Structure 1
């Protein structure tokens, strides 16, 4: 009875503390992720007040948090969205992976961590934070900008790549050999392909089966189905997160919208618990020794993300200013970098990887909103300084249907005119843009 009371007191204190931290972050309009990580550091190993009774309960909540993060990610897309984006924007995805995964892999090898840690750190530096970026775009009033569909397309390709990458990492950190790892990847690709095919051909049938006018029944069916599939996927060594992602893709229409509305508060709650759990397993004393490598990696990969966005926007015919805004918006890393690092930390791959990932995410989740806001003005100022006498329209080019020096045009495939700073209709890249982590 006493231990049960202590568990309730500890877990209640964690939830209350997270709520207060979230309110503080919202007041100053920045992501609460760094605060959640710092809270975990404060109450974990070597922290100010280590937890005891509630740690196992928090671990279960953290696992549910990862599952809900990937489920909600899948609900953002339809299968047709994923296929069309893959066909249209795969070069941008390849450039994104090459420029941003390689620095992480190289850093791990230079630090002497070995090939498995290199694959993990490559993922940490590769994947941008969809939640942080979406919130920043909304805060800056850029939802209707011409470059926003390019940003979303890069994020879609990263999320789709997770379905292939996560099973690879899961097999590697589990110590699976080449044959077992290849089998795991083949199963993951086969299941992903089957789900995409079923969603394209029978998406309405699946959604009707899950659909319910009663929110309670819809919540129970979707949540139960997701956790069941995630458990089966984990049993097959495919990754519970990938299973949840595929369930989200399979649902469409009103069911997806209703599930998104019902599950968003649960996602936010358990995702916050996940960040705390990651911090609990990181000793604050282990961060200073890796702070310099984390800072160097943050600077390098901030630059490579800006280059990625600039290249992708240029390929889409966006003006020079829009290219810089695209690159600056993609810098933030967050939830999925921690998810990937968490796999290695749980498996005990490299003791310093968790602290480095924590410091790296803390740096870029703070730096990301700043680069989103100031990359374009700084680039414009630098261009004008390098070319004296240039007019206000210099350094820009226009997409189809635009006049010189403007930021307006027709977004390809929609027939909708989008003006910079005006929240106009966007192409159906996502069912809806997430606004929180």
Structure 2
């Protein structure tokens, strides 16, 4: 027993040290936890710290359950319900494009239906943790496209719950009648949990409520494990049971305290889950799936960019915002590994494990690099893909954080020409209005660039377009667009 503890302790310590080193370069932690398991597991040549990965099975299951439970507790139900039609369409388009691409990749690779369904989910669902960390590290929390990105990953999480619930019976591989019964049972259990989330929050709060943090933590973990285990018994993934009981807790007065208490447990045991997944991967098998992974990565990048363009068009964003959306939601992580774990447990094609492991590792490196370098992509996205002419500001990221709004004194004008161009007998392309003095001048696509010249002469920072169908403002000092947040009237 003591030998096992030494090996597990050393493995988790090394995983933490690798993750800490990776964080210094802005990398997410998940790939480094996996890497520690891959390099120090029994399926890889070299030192082995844990001879029997199944020894970590219970701890890994606890990590998976707590990971999904905490997600349920944090899930902003009101934000999704009040997000509006445009965000729902954007998120739906993202899911359809990416999941369909994943399913197509599975079919191209010649895998069966069940394997293709797993690949569809693994390639189609972003990592909430990686996306959120990218937004923070790239200082884009105030960008106008950021609420759309967060809305997409939130709705993705909800889709994941439904997808896992329907996929679990399919992975069991029963006959048509058995499959229909299992899916009906899973759906019925989901409905029961949703109803409990809607009407049973007060009762659950009374059951687990305690003024002492120690007792609250014990009671919460007990309830989570009980519901997760019951979910697994009735044919629904234990992860889904944990997610939905998290939704119930999120509707109680205990939400904030539970989030704080469970977070350290989630992080520790989730790390064990990722390490345990790495232990099951044979590094020798990675080479055989490398071409398939390369195809999947290229397809994922293309699908994400297409979804970014759709979202940008829906919200009237420009090229830079479209590139930001597509490349920020590129990261894959915990959810892909959950699906891989389910597939391996169901006895599906053993190549799925190495395929998804390498896929997640590659995207964990590619996603931050591409997201930080979205400007070159914005330069080549053609204007015809957008409803409005954004050429003037196509390379700027939109922001609501302008600090010069106190300089706004004039917002309307009846002018329909550039006076200086008329005086010189020249033509202009588009018109802009100074929001400080009301002067109207031509844009930077015009020969004379009188709007910029006005700023350089008088220092008035803000202009707005007066072109029909356009509603953006631009700050010369901040070098960014200034637009009302999502959901504001337009």
TM-score band, normalised by shorter chain: 0.7 to 0.9
CA offset at residue 108 of structure 1? 2.0
Range with bigger deviation, 268-277 or 398-407: 398-407
Distance 1:6-1:334 versus aligned 2 partners, 3 A rule: same
Q: Deviations over 1:206-226 (max 9, x none)?
A: 335433221111111111111
For the residue of structure 1 that corresponds to 2:140, the secondary structure is coil
Count of residue pairs the alignment pairs up: 408
Range with bigger deviation, 297-306 or 84-93: 84-93
Distance 1:86-1:207 versus aligned 2 partners, 3 A rule: farther
The answer to whether structure 1 residue 411 and structure 2 residue 411 are counterparts is no
The answer to whether structure 1 residue 298 and structure 2 residue 297 are counterparts is yes
Larger Rg: 2
CA offset at residue 385 of structure 1? 12
Question: Normalized against structure 2, the TM-score is what?
Answer: 0.77
Selected match of 2:75 from 69, 74, 77: 77
Distance 2:181 2:78 in 1: 27
CA offset at residue 11 of structure 1? 1.1
For the residue of structure 2 that corresponds to 1:48, the secondary structure is coil
Contact persistence 1:174–1:347 (CA under 8 A): yes
Distance 2:211 2:29 in 1: 34
Q: Deviations over 1:363-382 (max 9, x none)?
A: 1111111222112x012333
Range with bigger deviation, 262-271 or 105-114: 105-114
Distance 1:395 1:365 in 2: 25
Question: Normalized against structure 1, the TM-score is what?
Answer: 0.86
The root-mean-square deviation of aligned C-alpha atoms, in Å, is 2.7
The answer to whether structure 1 residue 393 and structure 2 residue 393 are counterparts is yes
Aligned to 2:329: 330
For the residue of structure 2 that corresponds to 1:146, the secondary structure is coil
Answer 1 or 2: higher relative contact order, Cα 8 Å, separation at least 6.
1
The 5-angstrom pairing of residues 200-219 of structure 1 reads: 200-219=198-217
Q: Which stretches in structure 2 are left out of the alignment for 5+ residues?
A: 385-389, 399-464
Aligned to 1:348: 347
Distance 1:219 1:88 in 2: 39
Distance 1:176-1:407 versus aligned 2 partners, 3 A rule: farther
The answer to whether structure 1 residue 357 and structure 2 residue 356 are counterparts is yes
Aligned to 1:271: 270
Q: Deviations over 1:44-100 (max 9, x none)?
A: 213322345553331111111111111111111244344444866332233222211
Aligned to 1:11: 8
For the residue of structure 2 that corresponds to 1:410, the secondary structure is coil
Distance 1:385-1:99 versus aligned 2 partners, 3 A rule: closer
The answer to whether structure 1 residue 183 and structure 2 residue 253 are counterparts is no
CA offset at residue 184 of structure 1? 3.1
Contact persistence 1:89–1:153 (CA under 8 A): yes
The answer to whether structure 1 residue 139 and structure 2 residue 153 are counterparts is no
Q: Deviations over 1:295-321 (max 9, x none)?
A: 111011112112212312321233332
Aligned to 2:434: none
Contact persistence 2:72–2:246 (CA under 8 A): yes
